[in-house]
Amino acid sequence: MEGDLVKKPKDKSERESGLFSIADSVITTVGGGGRVPLLKGFKKIVNIPIKLWQPYLVGPHFRGYKLIFQECECFVSFAGSTLTSQHVINLISNHLSLLRIDYRSKFLEKGDFIVIKNCDRNELEVTANYSHHSDELFIPERDYQGILTADVIVDVVEHSINTALKSAKEFRLSEEAFNEMYTEFTLGLTCPSTGKDLLYHFQMDKRLNLEGVYEVFVHKHYVPENAVSVIGMRKTFGDRIEKVVEHAISNNLNLCEELVAFMETAIDEVDKEGSFEIGKPIVVKTLVNGTVVKKLVK
């Protein structure tokens, strides 16, 4: 079970910016008597570096990417299949660490500097053998500022998840196989351009294509401020978590501490039932000013 929040309010009159994510760290499998734990200490909240590479020019000629213009972090938490999640997180990490600045030229006017994925068409690379660029362009403090936005990062994450899931249709998934690979993700990030904290929930779904084969994809949902994204055991604990959040905010309580306490209670309840779907240690990570920090292991 994981919970991610957009804000961590202390007092109604002064609310500290930043995101935090709380997760258990046990991995289970289905045995003859229900779920049994396989191992503990598994990372369900992953720090992911974001790197934006700037064009390298020798005189008027583009010669690749050698320097990072901007760097920060986001976090991705998950609940569900560990195999699916690791494949997805690997792709997210690869894409976000290789973002590039491209220049899209225009006829008779200045073009646009944009952020692209390493798998996108790169106009600078395509035209490198014959393009000559003006020395009035490619000035970092003027041309590159503010082009890396939350929208760009969220789109890259969504693309990465869908790319990872595309291969599933090659194996003609059954309903049972879909349930086995089902995984949900939460993305927490600070917009590099505006400094705003944002949280997104990605939920897997499937549809039958014209060949009668399931295609797997994700729905993306924005989580508003002071709201919680619950992934894993949501049917069991989702409503109670919402009440904990509402009570903490209404009574000026430390929301992170209240949710950690609830997580401890939830783990105790699950242990008593013998299902062991969640377990200690509990991990808390925060994201402040584009840096992810492990706050607590309990």
pLDDT in tens, 209-232: 887 778 899 999 999 988 899 999
Residue 152's pLDDT is what?
Answer: 98
Check which CATH number belongs to the domain holding 41 and give it.
3.60.20.10
Measure the CA–CA gap between 243 and 27, rounded to whole angstroms. 27
Instruction: Name residue 34's beta-bridge partners.
Output: 31
Q: Is the pLDDT of residue 187 over 70?
A: yes
Of residues 62 and 170, the one with the higher pLDDT is: 62
pLDDT band at 9 (very low <50, low <70, confident <90, very high): very low
Average pLDDT over residues 257-285: 91
What rounded mean pLDDT belongs to the chain? 89
* DSSP category for residue 58: E
Q: Give residue 146's pLDDT.
A: 97
Per-residue pLDDT reduced to its tens digit, 59-97: 999 999 999 999 999 999 999 999 999 999 999 999 999
**Domain of 267, in residue numbers:** 2-297
* Buried b or exposed e, range 182-200, using 16+ CB within 10 angstroms: bbbbbbbbbbbeeeebbbb
Q: At 8, is the pLDDT very low, low, confident or very high (cuts 50, 70, 90)?
A: very low
Taking 90 as the threshold, does the pLDDT of residue 103 lie above it?
yes
The whole-number pLDDT of residue 2 equals 59
What is the domain count for the chain?
1
Distance, in Å, from the CA atom of 118 to the CA atom of 126, rounded to the nearest integer, reads 13
pLDDT > 70: percent of the chain: 90
Give the residue-averaged pLDDT of 158-165: 96
Confidence of residue 168 (pLDDT cuts 50, 70, 90): confident
Please give the structure tokens belonging to residue 280: 């200690």
Burial readout 111-139 (b: 16 or more C-beta within 10 A, e: otherwise): eebebbbeeeebbbeeeeeeeebeeebbe
214 and 184 Cβ atoms separated by less than 8 Å: no
Please give the average per-residue pLDDT across 189-211, as a whole number: 93
Q: Is the dihedral of CA 277, 279, 283, 284 positive or negative?
A: positive
State pLDDT tens for residues 15-58: 455 699 999 988 877 665 566 667 778 899 999 999 999 999 99
Q: Give me the pLDDT at residue 108, please.
A: 75
Q: Given a cut of 60, is residue 10 above it in pLDDT?
A: no
Q: Mean pLDDT across the stretch 254-263?
A: 93
CA atoms of 27 and 13, how far apart (whole Å): 40
User: With pLDDT > 90 as the criterion, what percentage of the chain qualifies?
Assistant: 67
